[in-house]
Amino acid sequence: MLIDSHVNLHAPQFDEDRDAVIARARAAGIGLMVNICDKIPNFPAVRALADHPDIWCTVGAHPHEAKDHADLTANALIDFAADPRVVGIGECGLDFHYDLSPREIQAAVFRRHIIAARETGLPLVVHTREADQVMGDILEEEHARGAFPLLMHCYTSGPELAARCAALGAWFSVSGIATFKAAEDVRAVVREMPADRIIVETDCPYLAPVPHRGRRNEPAYLPDVLVKLAEIRGWSREEAEQRTESAFFDLFQRIPRP
């Protein structure tokens, strides 16, 4: 089964043809998708798509949105996560590239997501950009208070943070960035990821893989990511599909295995 672990199908880029995008995903062999919440006001739209039997969802606030979620509590996230179609906490984390929210607020909101992940047992879906040292420190500090499942989504950070996260038992997801000509540093990290904790994603509508780069991304393009992952790791396509499927269900345990 091909599984797109990170889609944003509620995004306005899909307003004109959302049903057709979902149909193309199924036609391309995508068996499951996880629709990711970027901010709490969008959760109703995120959750509505999880009425499809092959689409699940998360709840959380992207670090860009942290400034508008300074009062978001772990208990509120835990309450949202009581919905059986919610299978993860996030997307959350730190983004020091754009700094669209103050860094101290990003960190505070991120820690509340971690508490929710720890309390619910649902995986924490982490976004990190240009924040390797602080990210590693927070994850290690919080893990020492109690373990929680952890997914480093669309991982493009350095090998040092990858090693720190792997030591905490993290999973990693590979996106279309791995197909970009200039992304050899990303591919080098992918080669060292734990073989049983790698999954794939599109992050659509962003980051369309080669040969679709420059277009709106969609789940139907996931096979191009999987093929590149297989090439990087020296796996056959079939092995890559089997490994990423197994790793996905090991992480997202609320979703029944087929």
Mean pLDDT by 10-residue block, N- to C-terminus, for the chain (258 residues)? 98 98 98 98 98 98 98 98 98 97 98 98 98 98 98 97 98 98 98 98 98 97 98 98 98 97
Specify the pairing of strand 55-59 against strand 30-35.
Answer: parallel
* Domain boundaries, given as residue ranges, for the chain: 2-251
Model pLDDT, residue 105: 98
Structure tokens at 76: 């509120």
Residue-wise pLDDT tens digits, 100-140 = 999 999 999 999 999 999 999 999 999 999 999 999 999 99
CATH topology of domain 2-251: TIM Barrel (3.20.20)
Q: Are 15 and 163 in contact (CB under 8 A)?
A: no
Model pLDDT, residue 34: 99
Tell whether the torsion through CA atoms of 59, 60, 62 and 67 is positive or negative: positive
Structure tokens at 186: 């990303």
CA dist 231 and 225 (Å) reads 10
CA neighbours closer than 13 Å in the CB half-sphere of residue 123: 31
CA dist 77 and 128 (Å) reads 20
Mean pLDDT across the chain: 98
Q: What percent of the chain has pLDDT over 90?
A: 100
Model pLDDT, residue 52: 98
Model pLDDT, residue 53: 98
* R_g of the chain, CA atoms, integer Å: 17
> Is the model's pTM score more than 0.95?
yes
CA dist 233 and 174 (Å) reads 12
CA dist 144 and 161 (Å) reads 17
Beta bridge partners of 173: 199
Name the 3-class secondary structure at 129: strand
Structure tokens at 114: 């971690």
Specify the pairing of strand 55-59 against strand 86-95.
Answer: parallel
Q: How far is CA 180 from the centre of its chain?
A: 19
CA dist 229 and 136 (Å) reads 25
